[in-house]
Structure 1
Amino acid sequence: MAETKSTCCYCGVGCGVVIEHEAGRITGVRGDPDHPANFGRLCTKGSTLHLSASPETLAARALHPELRARRTDARTRVSWDDALDTAADKFAAIIAEHGPDAVAIYGAGQLLTEDYYVFNKLMKGLIGSNNLDTNSRLCMSSAVAGYKLSLGADAPPCSYEDIRHTEALFISGSNTAFAHPIAFRRVEDARKANPDMKLVVIDPRRTDTAEAADLHLPLIPGTDIALYNAMLHVMLWEGWVNRDYIDAHTEGFDALKKIVREYTPAMAASICGLDKNAIEQAAQIFATSKATMSMYCQGLNQFSFGTHNNSALINLHLATGQIGRPGAGPFSLTGQPNAMGGREVGGLANLLSAHRDMANPAHRAEVAALWGVDSVPATPGKSAVELFKALKSGEVKAVWIACTNPAQSMPDQALIHDALKTAEFVIVQEAFGHTETCTYADLLLPATTWGEKDGTVTNSERAITRVRAAVSAPGEARHDWAIVVDFARRLGTRLGKGALAERMFSYASPEEIWNEHRESTRGRDLDITGMSYTMLEQAGPQQWPFPEGASAGKVRLYEDGVYPTPTGRARFVATEHRITAESPSAHYPLHLNTGRLRDQWHGMSRTGLVARLYSHESEPLLHMHQDDMERRRLADGDLVKVKSRRGEVVLKIQQSATVRPGQCFVPMHWGGNTMGGQGVNVLMPSDFDPTSKQPELKHAAVQVEKYTAGKSLVLMRRSEADADGNLQPNPLAVMDRLRQWLPHFPYASLTLAGRNSPVVMLKARGEELAPELIEALDREIALDDPTRVLSYQDSRKDVAKRALVEGDSLTAVRLAGETKAADWLADMMVQGHSAAAVRQWLLAPLTQPPAGQAARGKVICNCFDVAEDDILAAFRAGESLDGLQARTKCGTNCGSCVPELKRLRQSVSN
């Protein structure tokens, strides 16, 4: 067995991993003990990365270039030459007729820095348009704009090291325990080492992060600016501002002071739905602690005023001098593994390489000289929402989508799907061929992914890490940068720029690309001219800036109080409270908040391949307060229709104490590949921040009503390892076959269950369950042979059951009409030793599980498969948390479940 060091491909914490591989296959993964981001720790997602690269996952991979001549035709396999020639012909023809702004590229924060760089150079240098944007627009652009507006550059001033030095940590708009679990492990360690450290969490929901807080401020969604202005009001009143720092290192304070005089704690309390005493307490903790640090993420960014949300929080740091020293400063937690690297190379429609300003002629000239072109365009390109609106209107004719899934992740999904249908030509460059966006690909280009790629990424704390390939790419998949380079040369010939394209894209390796990017940073705030691939391989990750001649990168920025602004001073930004893009009304009375699950990531194109990652929350659920449920006569497990001004979805509902009355919550991961309709984001508005262009993906106004139409249907198919260790049937192939039937149902949930013998489960409700539909679905899970299956049907009681039992295992099940035993049956299938009990149940008119038998409930500890019901039973019997962990090992591996274990223990104690 061989080992290769690389990085995790999920969130922006940037954990180092050691990939174990043998005979060209990835066999395991563990945390890299030498990596400064995680020191060997991994969360549930990172520790199961090898399972996302198992042989079964080839069923979900894009393996060969595929092309279709007309939108109604199926795609057919073509050679790489034919694929890229077709792409170059299409782009060249559109550019010749309509100009360079008629084409666009939409990329991702999952691309490596080298991939990002050549995409940017292709669009802005060779084609001559700034129409290059990425999904980082959806998560980080307000953080970028906030840093630039307040501090002068997109440069997070803090490091993970500061967590252990802080005396007061404010986590705002982030469920860090779920979204950045390894960063939260550092918070837990810091509090253990310093019991006097204060944790304040600002979040509408009482998340696991909030449960751990000394003070939780459950504000109404979108009222952050009012809160921060009121906190500054208190600081001014009490004399807690640092006038020396303000006078020496900032500007604009007097204008802000005039505004915040109006934001009394009482006024803010009425806006935010908070106790004014809690606002005053938060202000005191922030201002009077020896070192105060803030960490924040989408809860600040994803609003139509996200830039000012960021700046309002940074204002507090500047006013109190809580910046530029150990344990103090505003720290934006990056959402994606290389959103930071993309920002460094100018990978958004309004950015240029190395933090240069597109509006600055000198900066544009520097980039043009570096690339060897006459000029780069001055007008910002179309940001994400603008781009897809332009696709729908026909202003943009062709789009190249790389390593992202806008047909799941963008807001206002109806608009996105219409845009992709309307577009003249859609290229999708993707590792996974089953994503919602791949459905619209006129040309599908197979790309490499985690474990196969070579290059660099930059994490939240500005640390650049080498990414190394452990195995070769499957099929004909190619590296993203190599695809772009090959295409650029072909396009250059067609545009009459053949010689130029050959010079611009002469790269033979990712290191050559990175060296050019490195040179572009010389003299800039993110100067990395002192780094090299060799250094990163020998010395490990390095933080920027790291100029030539330096011995190390900077752990924290602005220690000297000098900022990269024209005056050298940080800027106070005058921020006023604004209402969200949508406010609740009589017709849409509820706030809907979106967020993340612990064990899933983004659109689930990778985590959705791993059965055990569904066990914590197994399907899309609407979380709602008991009062709102009682008002609508709803109970746990009921189906509800959730409707916004743009669309609707049908989900199961779950009573939750994490949300306040008048609010509800749904995770953002679920799209049209895993549920009925176009996914959760069909509900969300496309309104965006005028500065950052980041859409308001965090909040919508909705109505919720019980859904009772039609009849229920459940199908399940179990897989088991054969003699060679391969799962038969391939569960991902079964999911793919069932996926085509999702549009037939207003409510549908297509997921996996189990661990070693996964079960594919489709839960659905249809207006009518036509016999031909049920027969077709039976064929998909091998229930179509009447000589092999057990059947029971009672039309009078609306019970129809069919099952396949092989040996002592229940292999496949279909329930129609009445489906109350579905979860119990799934558990029986996962355990694989249930034939006798199930036979008896199947051949009887029972709909409920047998007496005394029920499903296990959700799994809290994924590492050791420990379920919630077992944990609660142990606590009720008097077992301590230490005792539980010693007996079951829960929470002793990755630690992701520790906050929930503590919450469950507390719930029993109360």
Structure 2
Amino acid sequence: MNISVDNTPVETKTTCPYCGVGCGVIARVEEDGKVSIKGDPDHPANFGRLCSKGSALGETLDLDGRALEPQVFGAPASWDEALDLVAARFKDTIAEFGPESVAFYLSGQLLTEDYYVANKLMKGFIGSANIDTNSRLCMASSVAGHKRAFGSDTVPGCYEDLELADLIVLVGSNMGWCHPVLYQRIAAEKARRPSLKVVVIDPRRTATSDIADLHLSIKPDGDVALFNGLLAHLIETGVIDQTYIAAHTHGFSEVFEQIMGQSLADLMMQTGLPAMQLRQFFKLFAASEKVVTCYSQGVNQSSSGTDKVNAIINCHLATGRIGKPGMGPFSLTGQPNAMGGREVGGLANMLAAHMDLENPRHRESAQNFWAAPTMAEKPGLKAVDMFKAVADGRIKALWIMSTNPVVSMPDANAVKAAIEACPFVVVSDMQADTDTARLAHVLLPASGWGEKSGTVTNSERRISRQRPFKAAPGSAQPDWWQLAEVARRMGFAQAFAYTSPAEIFAEHAALSGLNNNGSRDFDISAYRTIDAQHYDALSPFQWPQPLGTAPKDSRFFSNGKFYHSDGKARFSATAPAQSDRVNDAFPLTLNTGRVRDHWHTMTRTGKSARLSAHLAEPFAEIHPLDGRDFGIEDAALVEITSVTGQRVIVRALLSERQSRGAIFVPMHWTGEVAPTGRVDTLIPSNTDPISGQPALKSCGVAIKPCVMEAYGFAISATKPTAIDATYWALAKAESGWRLELGFERTMDWTAWARATLNVPSDADMVGYQDQASGDVRLAFFDGDRLCAALFMAHEPVSVSRNWAASQLSQCFAHRNNRVSLIAGRPSANQIDPGAIVCSCFSVGINQITDAIAKGCTTVKAIGETLSAGTNCGSCRAEIGAILAATRPIAAE
């Protein structure tokens, strides 16, 4: 939907491409081609709010690193050459080795229309179910838990329930950083209605914990034991709804027998929680009728993830707290279209339109609808097993779309080796030089956000349009088009004769209503005849919307009817996890996850200097007492190893928010920007036996100091190349790049700087080298402009990073300014904002402490003075911590 008022630049309503909140955004293309972004006040997911990542979307649309034309074996090629080769190699491989010898690996970044075409081609025309997605890494355990409990992959509630609840339980969810807009909806409601209680269950005291009335620092994988203990308490105190259980469920007696009789001492040992906190949580849950339990990757990414999901759902079923306003279990999806992928059967064990792949009637319905020559009859290989099959040669042709498994998969180096050994690899991506794209035999340039058209579904089942507002660069094409063209060349032209995503969406909608009549939860058949005009104008709507009905917000299961054959839900007996991941060799538990301002493997957010300023390099968050025990100081480099035999080197961040015995390392950094920071190389490929989801949050590791001969920090106006260093981490700066460095040996630093930082041969150099101390300060100037600077020392260098990076845009006509730069800190008349706290407004810690010194005593006051914390609000917890640290301590 394009909007133009009074000849102003056109505005386009679209949807954010980041997390599963599914925020509406308005993109405005200015006359100079720049794109400004604001939240859509009419979108029911966010009502105009945006997080730091969403606000910075306009800064991520440059062509740096974009794939602009097809490449075949590293050489430019036409689309016809590339697509003919892909079709021929897949056909030949299938003819020689059978349909199980090929596979697609997809992504929650794809639009539903892309997903639909891929699933139809693989399952209905190739005849294999070897199609899986990186959504397997984030929400497969939720799918399995839903199906086990409800008979369908159904999220019962709505975002509105967060504002209607009396108690919100956040389990394994750092909502403040990972779903910030939902977090702000809760924070706003809590401010309006202080009786609303929040419990956060997480081994780390994350930013989310700062609005919690109770934070439970649970032992990793202690969730099943905790919720089994909760259910036992609900039974013992008579809070369960026996009438509801009898009328609408099966399996309660089996669960009852398993969980009753456990001692409080056992529960304390299994959860790592003190008795007082256990009792407090149990009483709060029991006393609050309107309870919403939100859970995310801390639940799903586990070898017992499905049991965790069902242990949570058991508590809601036992109390009848499901399907009603302000109550129910709520799975928060990690990716923008993980839900859309589930709707079209994008997982290896699913069929389109929430049909069951192993149900012969469902397979027959889909096959007849598609007029498909063959249908997959059994589940395909899930993500981890898929790459194992690539490694051992069972899969000989692989198509990877819009994801970077060489970074994001567990045992990532083994995945890299598997892809390198695969006879034929196709990669469709926006970026030409990701860790995965570099391994492609055929690289297909994909159009990206802002260029392609389709739909996505958010965590509350709301389908929204992503609309284009700029032309795709070069010869980039949408993923659905690439798939349809290959299908046509494989001999399936009639079934893939799509000319627009509107046609695909209409077919998807029609299939959802096929032989349905309420027997399946997913039904959007009201849109089966949608045309291009109505598709373009499509407003966000929540499914289901069967044929002949109007859009309306809805909850499932309010009538007690579920999707098992008898209409009843199922309790599932779940046993507490038994883990041997920690031992003498690997005494700490590694938890991986996201940071506030970056997304997945940074192919988008890494383009924004503003987003990179908050946390510019990979780090390990370690409790100070663990740091003491292992000889690790704050800001030092640390080496981490695991049973995979790999090692990573990252910066140590000592924090009491981290629980003892565990460390946290973000998953974003790649071989492109920090080759020793690929943390998923440490994670063994252990999976949940039901969902196939890997355990990315509980791996045994060892840590030790990583002592370097020399440490450095550099800034450069051009992107550094061929970086010869043991440790390095590269990040975008406002007018160039910033680079952290560690070396196991010293070298000629002037020559190193000129070669690596691309310094012009005639550039002027200012600086000094102190052989005794090891300090080196070098700056290179092209006329009045700074080309590059290098700061070296025997210890981590003390340089004001953000201030130094900002100097790339300054004029250095006066020599005094050049000397100040060499000092690594601003002169008296210059401002150093310090480390960035608020990415939305680029506000640093020095500015915040200065505001406090001038009389700001609250987060609100700082927001009024500096704007910090007034947009997405994700930094408010950090601002609060700064306030607390600077507040005078009362004398005793």
Letter of the aligned partner of 2:615 in structure 1? E
Letter of the aligned partner of 1:905 in structure 2? L
> By how many angstroms is 1:799 displaced?
3.4
Letter of the aligned partner of 1:521 in structure 2? S
Distance in 2 (CA, whole Å) between partners of 1:395 and 1:539 is: 43
**Out of 16, 21, 27, which is 1:19 matched to?**
27
Conserved? CA contact 2:763–2:781, under 8 Å: no
> By how many angstroms is 1:583 displaced?
2.0
Distance in 2 (CA, whole Å) between partners of 1:876 and 1:691 is: 56
| 1:788-799 map, 5 Å | 788-799=764-775
* Change in CA separation of 1:760 and 1:10 when aligned onto 2, cut-off 3 Å: same
Instruction: Map Cα deviations across residues 44-96 of structure 1 (whole Å, 9 max, x no partner).
Output: 0001101111xxx212211000111xxxxxx1111001111111121122112
Conserved? CA contact 1:5–1:468, under 8 Å: yes
Letter of the aligned partner of 2:788 in structure 1? A
* Change in CA separation of 1:536 and 1:902 when aligned onto 2, cut-off 3 Å: farther
Distance in 2 (CA, whole Å) between partners of 1:260 and 1:680 is: 37
Letter of the aligned partner of 2:878 in structure 1? E
**Corresponding residue number in structure 1 for 2:6:** none
| 1:639-678 map, 5 Å | 639-646=637-644, 647-677=646-676
**Out of 791, 813, 828, which is 2:804 matched to?**
828
Q: Please, what TM-score do these two structures have when normalized by structure 2?
A: 0.94
Distance in 2 (CA, whole Å) between partners of 1:366 and 1:651 is: 52
Which secondary structure state, in structure 2, belongs to the residue aligned with residue 59 of structure 1?
Answer: coil
Instruction: Map Cα deviations across residues 209-251 of structure 1 (whole Å, 9 max, x no partner).
Output: 1121001111011110001011111111111111121111111
**Corresponding residue number in structure 2 for 1:526:** 522
> By how many angstroms is 1:900 displaced?
2.8
Letter of the aligned partner of 2:507 in structure 1? E
Conserved? CA contact 1:783–1:789, under 8 Å: no
| 1:686-835 map, 5 Å | 686-718=685-717, 729=718, 734=719, 737-738=720-721, 740-741=722-723, 744-753=724-733, 757-771=734-748, 775=751, 778-783=754-759, 785=761, 788-806=764-782, 809-818=785-794, 820-821=796-797, 823-824=799-800, 826-831=802-807, 832-833=809-810, 835=812
Residues paired across the two proteins, number: 867
Conserved? CA contact 1:799–1:847, under 8 Å: no
> By how many angstroms is 1:709 displaced?
3.6
Which secondary structure state, in structure 1, belongs to the residue aligned with residue 525 of structure 2?
Answer: coil
> By how many angstroms is 1:817 displaced?
4.6
> By how many angstroms is 1:207 displaced?
0.5
> By how many angstroms is 1:415 displaced?
0.7
* Change in CA separation of 1:855 and 1:390 when aligned onto 2, cut-off 3 Å: farther
| 1:255-266 map, 5 Å | 255-266=254-265
Letter of the aligned partner of 1:399 in structure 2? L
Letter of the aligned partner of 1:642 in structure 2? I
Letter of the aligned partner of 1:28 in structure 2? S
**Corresponding residue number in structure 1 for 2:507:** 516
Which secondary structure state, in structure 2, belongs to the residue aligned with residue 650 of structure 1?
Answer: strand
Conserved? CA contact 2:221–2:302, under 8 Å: yes
> By how many angstroms is 1:576 displaced?
0.5
| 1:321-720 map, 5 Å | 321-492=320-491, 501-522=492-513, 523=516, 524-531=520-527, 532=530, 538=537, 540-580=539-579, 582-646=580-644, 647-677=646-676, 679-718=678-717
**Corresponding residue number in structure 2 for 1:871:** 848
* Change in CA separation of 1:852 and 1:635 when aligned onto 2, cut-off 3 Å: farther
Conserved? CA contact 2:119–2:346, under 8 Å: yes
Instruction: Map Cα deviations across residues 85-116 of structure 1 (whole Å, 9 max, x no partner).
Output: 11112112211211111111001001000000
* Change in CA separation of 1:763 and 1:855 when aligned onto 2, cut-off 3 Å: farther
2:71 is equivalent to residue 66 of structure 1: yes
Conserved? CA contact 1:611–1:752, under 8 Å: yes
Conserved? CA contact 1:714–1:819, under 8 Å: no
Moved over 6 A (4+): 846-855
> By how many angstroms is 1:130 displaced?
0.7
Distance in 2 (CA, whole Å) between partners of 1:825 and 1:661 is: 30
**Corresponding residue number in structure 1 for 2:3:** none
Unaligned runs of 5+ in 1: 69-74, 493-500, 719-728
Identical pairs, percent: 40
**Out of 813, 818, 833, which is 1:839 matched to?**
818
Distance in 2 (CA, whole Å) between partners of 1:635 and 1:854 is: 29
Letter of the aligned partner of 2:776 in structure 1? A
Distance in 1 (CA, whole Å) between partners of 2:847 and 2:12 is: 38
* Change in CA separation of 1:503 and 1:185 when aligned onto 2, cut-off 3 Å: same
Letter of the aligned partner of 2:182 in structure 1? A
2:83 is equivalent to residue 84 of structure 1: yes
Conserved? CA contact 2:172–2:202, under 8 Å: yes
| 1:847-862 map, 5 Å | 856-862=833-839
Letter of the aligned partner of 2:60 in structure 1? S
| 1:162-181 map, 5 Å | 162-181=161-180
**Corresponding residue number in structure 2 for 1:722:** none
Instruction: Map Cα deviations across residues 296-318 of structure 1 (whole Å, 9 max, x no partner).
Output: 10000000111111110011111
**Corresponding residue number in structure 2 for 1:9:** 17
Distance in 1 (CA, whole Å) between partners of 2:609 and 2:738 is: 11
> By how many angstroms is 1:825 displaced?
5.8
2:81 is equivalent to residue 42 of structure 1: no
Instruction: Map Cα deviations across residues 183-219 of structure 1 (whole Å, 9 max, x no partner).
Output: 1111012212221011011000001111210011110
2:200 is equivalent to residue 201 of structure 1: yes
> By how many angstroms is 1:901 displaced?
2.6
> By how many angstroms is 1:454 displaced?
0.6
Distance in 1 (CA, whole Å) between partners of 2:453 and 2:802 is: 40
> By how many angstroms is 1:122 displaced?
1.2
Letter of the aligned partner of 1:785 in structure 2? S
Distance in 2 (CA, whole Å) between partners of 1:529 and 1:280 is: 48
Conserved? CA contact 1:398–1:425, under 8 Å: yes
Distance in 1 (CA, whole Å) between partners of 2:848 and 2:32 is: 40
**Corresponding residue number in structure 1 for 2:867:** 889
Which secondary structure state, in structure 2, belongs to the residue aligned with residue 748 of structure 1?
Answer: strand
Distance in 2 (CA, whole Å) between partners of 1:787 and 1:661 is: 50
Letter of the aligned partner of 1:104 in structure 2? A
Distance in 2 (CA, whole Å) between partners of 1:405 and 1:282 is: 40
Instruction: Map Cα deviations across residues 247-287 of structure 1 (whole Å, 9 max, x no partner).
Output: 11111001001111143333211111101221122122222
Distance in 2 (CA, whole Å) between partners of 1:232 and 1:809 is: 67
Q: Please, what TM-score do these two structures have when normalized by structure 1?
A: 0.92
**Corresponding residue number in structure 2 for 1:72:** none
**Corresponding residue number in structure 2 for 1:253:** 252
Letter of the aligned partner of 1:594 in structure 2? T
Distance in 2 (CA, whole Å) between partners of 1:848 and 1:865 is: 18
Distance in 1 (CA, whole Å) between partners of 2:675 and 2:270 is: 36
Distance in 1 (CA, whole Å) between partners of 2:146 and 2:249 is: 14
> By how many angstroms is 1:794 displaced?
3.5
> By how many angstroms is 1:375 displaced?
3.5
Which secondary structure state, in structure 2, belongs to the residue aligned with residue 751 of structure 1?
Answer: strand
Distance in 2 (CA, whole Å) between partners of 1:715 and 1:708 is: 19
* Change in CA separation of 1:630 and 1:856 when aligned onto 2, cut-off 3 Å: farther
> By how many angstroms is 1:822 displaced?
5.9
Letter of the aligned partner of 2:17 in structure 1? C
Letter of the aligned partner of 1:444 in structure 2? L
**Corresponding residue number in structure 1 for 2:5:** none
Which moves more between the two structures, 233-242 or 33-42? 233-242
* Change in CA separation of 1:345 and 1:506 when aligned onto 2, cut-off 3 Å: same
Q: CA RMSD in A?
A: 2.2
> By how many angstroms is 1:662 displaced?
1.1
Which secondary structure state, in structure 2, belongs to the residue aligned with residue 58 of structure 1?
Answer: coil
Letter of the aligned partner of 1:472 in structure 2? A
